[in-house]
Structure 1
């Protein structure tokens, strides 16, 4: 029997040992993230402190009566048990573990459950065993095992310490696994979000492509319909002209010429509207007095909309100049007034208002254009207005609410394209039954004087060419070269022709007199019209240049900022307009 002071010293020693184990274990729990490594470190601490041969954690399968050990701690000279072991090879104590009971025996040779398998236990350095069931999950059991190669009595303190370690490890491992599961879930969710975002982007792109193809289909369908009608008038008129000439009935030709000309003019207007919608028209922006432009157009607008509609013109004080193409602005304003007229079949009030407007950064983002100073030109009516679904499609090409044959649906889309290409914007405010306001925001011009456009003189009354004046025409289309050449000859000019840029440069390099270069913008052979003009001015400084183009390669010809002595004429054009432009350029 131990004396009291021996018991006290032993208790103190065991308490200190337990405290040290818990401190070491706390450090492991704090520093080790991986659950398997944490379990191994805890087994090592417990095994060293208790002085056993082996310590570790395993997973028990009660149905198969096996234990799976991934890693265990072993004292020097003791082999690991990592792998799968069958309990029945060592005795019957598996029955206690199945019930969740602690298993402890001091000597396998004397314990009834292990006496027959004692030799097997001794071979694996497990003559004394302490097994603590830790937790059950999904039919499996976590087990803390302590083995010793010699007989050993397990004290209450040994069991209590092992139980504390098992409980702490169980909580820490569960937390680690929960954290790991949470990280995996977060990573999985992030991956799902990325996949869904990518799928959404693909779907969105497919939808955009579908909408684009629908718009292209609508555009080409409407374009084909209108152009076929116009081409029918042109081709039919020319066929009848041929027949009447063959029948010697020349006196009837005039009306067919008028029909062909009218159809061709309408086709040109349709092309210009398409170019305006796609922002491909050739613009010639100038400082423009919008107040004066509106005043000059009021009489024509009154005649166009008719007497049942009252027109008010309101202009703010000290209006700025707008940097815009005046003819295109006139066309846009006239289109807006015609739309307003059509929205007021029983009459009403049409208001044209101009005012200065500052757009700050916040409003610019909301309205989808650059912040800055604008001249705002609005056309308002008291007509039928638009419901939201119609207003949302108002700028779509060939979208119209008018009966078949009474509208192309290109008016507002042309205005939208013109405004955007000019560096401005257009906005619609409308409500069904309460009228519509369309506002054009035109960029302000800083400095310079306004465009004071003068009417073009009648070609027949224009001065003819002076003796020897020569014009070089560069165009790859034979019909254009022929027509331009004939006009020049009629006016007394000498016409030289080239079908591409290189041929034109050869003529420019010669000693021939050339007063004006007329060149298409899009030319074959690697040199466009602007390059030809630049090379020509190197060879002949100050040479006058007239660009003619059927496609609005605006950037190629200078984005509206041409050098002095240069001008642009958009195809198709009337021969009178060509003659006037040539005369004006040469006389400059």
Structure 2
């Protein structure tokens, strides 16, 4: 028994030693490699993520460039359409073809879109006809060279002339810079017009967007790296090719250049060592300190490095060697402990075997030997009630069954082996399917997050305890927090006490299962935003509320559109009201003006009478201008600009206002003489000055002073008024008062239609808005310098030209001084008897024989009975079924030599749906004999 015990002890010890030396080193090595591989896997995952971000960035750049190209094509077509309409409008204003084209080119110089982008036009010889930069306007593009090379712009123009159109890349500077930048332009040839039109986009604008996306990718990558741990304290970090540390968990290194940090092992810069092993598959071995032992550079570390060429980044992993070994050492210690315990237990069992079980086992062993020799009928013969007896009985039974089963054993083993192989294949397929489904699920979740983040709405989901379970990017940005940090926070803590209090009633309704919607106003980024918030309760299968979906939309633009619609409706009402009054009011003014002229002609020698007649005539014309201006304001009719003698206009305006201003208000004029004169509509400019003076009068109830100051200025450097001022020559008109000035609210809204600071509806709110509309239509600028309770100064900046550049216009008398038509017959059709009487007298004074009637039906019956009719003068709006335009068309078909002059108190658009024949001349009421002369003089030319 002792020998048996010793033998078992030696066998168990040998087994223990063999297992230890053949398994423990292998296990330690495998565990160490697994830990190292986990570091490589984490590094590769982050590298793949960064590489995908770079691929998305390249795709975005391609899409952005294609979008810009489409926009450039649209801009060039729009410029061509604008050129045609501007030339047509200038031709209607009496300019020649060359002058009309020049006006269109000048207007296109101020055409801007996008990030201060513009269009340019060059003729077929390469000379720039329209360019916003005065340095190049009118210059030959062949002279524009960069680095003494051939002119790239001239080459592009030649290509467009030969190819018709295309996209071309070349270098060109911005308007406010002289540095050449890469630019892509779309240039299109218009051979029938003799020029090419081009517009482009600077590629550095695209690069700025790419840099922004790259920074966002870096932020997203930084957040992802924070969640990755290697071993206990291992981590990932990223630096660029300039050795600037972009991402690092150590705040002392992150964001700094670490080229000066030295590797204690090699003595080289650790940044250079990391770059050398990038993508080699080798690990960099170096020594570093620990967080718990700073400054002691004796701890071994390993780093893997991957290089991402797209972003020019190096992505690295870093882990301490002893942490990689710690898992293997821990496993080894546990194996040894288990082995020692097993050895002790084995010794105890051996003692038991030696005293109580050895003999039965020996008999079982002998029996087993006999069975192994083929004696399957052998039995142990042991009969005991304990486990040994059961074992012996089981052994005997097993031998018996063995005899029955041994015959089928090989076939069953073969069948089982085949079944196991099939199961193994099924497990492999199932594993691959699960991996594919997991990847698809991850992609689907990523897409859903991207879609929710891209939606222009704040989206959040909370449980019934009001804890946040999900937010999108817009919701997190609105409250200036990180998405991840908001998860599992209480809603009250995340959005603040004030905001939570505003929606508390909605939350309670949603918890009760009711969907609620409300609107509110808040300030975001220094602007007022109107939001619409909807709380939608979510239910479980038992129809119990288990969460709330919070949707918030920015409806500021919708509210602005609603407000603008209301303003447009008010403007339409003004237009309809003005249109209804214009005809009768202008008829009255025609009677007044005609009689004033007649009185002036009859008493031409009475100078005292003329002192009273001239202001009355100007006031009558101003009444007509007011009606026309109100109609023009409601329909945005085009202006009639011309060169203006600003000194004479100011003197006339002050004389006109002298009777409308109280005695305690004085007016002072300071005009600096200049060769430049403002180029604008004189009537509208006078109206603008009158509106400003009346506002100043209302601001000085106790009296004060109103000052006019004018000067010519040349804008070369940056100047900002209501918007940046384009370089060029301007006439500056400053109107100052010593009144109460503008309030802060009035200063913000003074140019808005219908806004007035006067109480009890005293003001219409159209004054300054009409001034603003006139200035902007005249390509000018406006600003207000305000000093509350000390007065205000309104500055108008209008385009100016040299006096000799203007088109000299003869006075109506000069144009018709030789006009005399004695004895010729004119038919006058006018429904208002007083107006008809005034016009008939004017025609008689011009030497005509006049037959008049009050409607078109009577005129159609009368005209065929008359001898040769020289002219037909008819009001547009006539009683009955036939209006003036239809009567004129009828007469023009009968006799196309008959001169036809239409008179109307309406604008052209108010004359009916039927357009007026270009052969007819339209004379607006009120008018005097001079205007009537000019109308006949002009009709002779048609």
- TM-score scaled by structure 2? 0.32
TM-score (norm 1): 0.48
Higher RCO (CA-CA < 8 Å; seq separation 6+): 1
